Structure 1
């Protein structure tokens, strides 16, 4: 049953973000903190024009669990973000 729930959750997330990662503008940022347990990244970033947000440091959830394992605090990244289910979400990392 847990596998079925996870599969449906993954499908719902994929449908929610659709092809957004391909259409999104990547911005530069620096990972300030990684919270693997909560699946959150604190990122100091450039302006997010697609979200009409100035440069700042803020907390994002990640769209996929594997993203957390790819980064560490102090690392420079390029990422795309969007609102997914009302939450600021990292949808792609280069």
Structure 2
């Protein structure tokens, strides 16, 4: 296929091969043009290694919500998560983890962060 350009009374013809070569000089490689169909969108997988963190800490039970599977702890620094001491609410993996504790009990726990969610996966009594 030839493309003709008419400029100031003369006709210039460029071949499709020349046009393709020029276009190739200014285009991105196919891999950079669009994400692969199998690649998830950014933030689509909460289990991505960069999004998932695990840590452990010690604290004191401040409130128990068995129906909501939530536990409020006043905790020290949580190692592995760069989280300073504070009082906060956690979701527990299993409501049965809460059955052995009451407000004021010292506890040791393991927690997993998946995206913005914090989940206590292990909970045991700690020494005072």
Regarding TM over 0.5, the answer is: yes
Q: As a proportion of its length, which structure holds more helix?
A: 1
Answer with 1 or 2: which has the greater Rg: 2
Structure-2 residue corresponding to 1:87: 117
Q: Mark the CA change 1:40 to 1:54 in structure 2 (over 3 Å): closer, same or farther.
A: same
Unaligned runs of 5+ in 1: 1-16, 18-23
Q: Mark the CA change 1:91 to 1:73 in structure 2 (over 3 Å): closer, same or farther.
A: same
Q: Which has the higher contact order (CA 8 A, sep 6+)?
A: 1
**8 Å Cα contact 2:92-2:121 kept in structure 1:** yes
When normalised by structure 1's length, the TM-score is 0.67
- Give me the CA root mean square deviation: 2.1
Q: How does 1:1-94 map to 2 (within 5 A)?
A: 26-84=56-114, 86-94=116-124
When normalised by structure 2's length, the TM-score is 0.51
Which stretch shows the higher mean deviation, 50-59 or 78-87?
Answer: 78-87
**8 Å Cα contact 2:62-2:103 kept in structure 1:** yes
- Return structure 1 stretches of 4+ with deviation > 4 angstroms: none
Aligned pair count reads: 73
